[in-house]
Amino acid sequence: MKEYGQDVFLPAESSGGLAEEVKVAVKTMEELSKNGFEKLMKHNKLDTLVAPSYSASNVLAIGGYPAIRVPVGYYGKEGVPIGTCFGELRGSEPTLIEFVKDYQNYDPSKH
């Protein structure tokens, strides 16, 4: 059943699981997340991380944290798209969505 990717999943299912080095890498990333991003957010009593997309989105994704990327414009003659990444701690998806919604609806001319 190639059209559904079964040709990939069947061998993976019979592989015996993750290799030991992958398990070590996952454990390392969990520790870095706990002692890095989570510690930063909790210690400083922060609700939301706002950073350039290219620098934050991978860290948040690897750590399993909710993140939303928002396009903000273009850079250079080639018009490379750039964006902002918003991230929060696990379980905060509703507040993250509200924060980004408010950000997108903000109109400086009204203030």
- pLDDT at position 9 over 90: no
- pLDDT at position 85 over 70: yes
Cα 101 to Cα 26, 73, 111: the distances in Å are: 32, 17, 17
Sign of the Cα pseudo-torsion (32, 34, 38, 39, in order): negative
Q: Which residue has the higher pLDDT, 86 or 29?
A: 86
- pLDDT at position 68 over 80: yes
Summarize pLDDT for 12-30 with one digit per residue, the tens.
777 777 788 888 887 887 7
Summarize pLDDT for 38-62 with one digit per residue, the tens.
898 999 999 999 999 887 888 888 8
Helix (H) or strand (E) holding 70: strand 67-75
Summarize pLDDT for 88-111 with one digit per residue, the tens.
999 999 999 999 999 999 877 776
